[in-house]
């Protein structure tokens, strides 16, 4: 069964969502991320994707206290990302209870550091964040599209030991218009053993079921839950 991973994005310690990564298109959904995490845990969710949007802007970890409160007060497995640039950032994240961390821009801009993390912390603790636009890798909060083609980029890191990849189609993210199923099929056709985590565009449980039929192992969903398109009852039934 496909693993459903709810997302909590943090700005100023609050649970928010952006549209297409635009900080100007911010909507606050809850002042208390721990409350949201407990709500997910209550319906049977086991894993959480926590994104430090302040950290992404500041280029270093910021909202580690939110991470710590969630890992101390729930049994959720948390993967944490957003602005992680140094060994010290990772040390803080792991000390505050993250089971895994996600590196995106750094994997493009400083592959030496990212590869050193795989060796130092183990590939099971490091997720590759592959943000994509027109099958090219995008970085810097999606402000910049590179010339790096998605599939060779992922293949290179897969050879280096990465087996978990969050792939976000940025044209879809926060838009509630359906995920890029054909893109995910293409990736899995090339790297079938990859633990591919689809992200962006999920608008309903039907989208999640389609991803499951396509053989996608896991999916991140945020806005569809916060906007009531996916109800907690729906999640509970699916997870049961």
The catalytic position among 9, 54, 79, 89 is: 9
Is 12 designated active site? no
DSSP string, 111-179: HHHHHHHHHHH-GGGEEEEEEEETTEEEETTTTEEEEEEHHHHHHHHHHTT--EEEEEETTTTTS-S--
Is 52 designated active site? no
Exposed, middle or buried by CB within 10 Å (0-12, 13-18, 19+), for 44?
Answer: middle
Most distant CA pair in the chain, distance: 44
Instruction: Tell me the C-alpha distance between 75 and 71, whole Å.
Output: 7
The catalytic position among 79, 89, 131, 169 is: 131
Residues known to be catalytic = 9, 131
């Amino acid at each position: 069964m496909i693993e459903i991973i709810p997302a909590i994005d943090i700005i100023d310690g609050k649970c928010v969502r952006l549209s297409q990564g635009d900080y100007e298109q911010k909507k606050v959904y809850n002042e208390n991320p721990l409350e949201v995490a407990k709500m997910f845990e209550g319906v049977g969710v086991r894993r959480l994707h926590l994104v430090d949007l302040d950290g992404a802007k500041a280029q270093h970890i910021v909202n580690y206290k939110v991470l710590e409160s969630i890992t101390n007060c729930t049994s959720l497995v948390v993967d944490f990302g957003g602005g992680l640039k140094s060994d010290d950032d990772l040390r803080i994240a792991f000390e505050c209870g993250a089971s895994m961390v996600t590196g995106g821009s750094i994997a493009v801009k400083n592959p030496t550091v990212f590869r050193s993390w795989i060796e130092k912390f183990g590939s099971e603790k490091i997720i590759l964040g592959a943000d994509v636009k027109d099958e090219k890798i995008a970085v810097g909060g999606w402000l910049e599209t590179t010339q790096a083609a998605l599939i060779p980029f992922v293949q290179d890191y897969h050879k280096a030991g990465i087996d978990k990849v969050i792939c976000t189609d940025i044209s879809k993210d926060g838009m509630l218009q359906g995920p890029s199923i054909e893109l995910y099929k293409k990736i899995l056709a090339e790297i079938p053993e990859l633990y591919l985590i689809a992200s962006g565009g999920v608008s309903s449980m039907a989208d999640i079921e389609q991803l499951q039929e396509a053989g996608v192992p896991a999916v991140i969903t945020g806005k569809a839950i916060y906007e009531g398109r996916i109800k907690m009852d729906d999640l509970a039934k699916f997870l049961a």
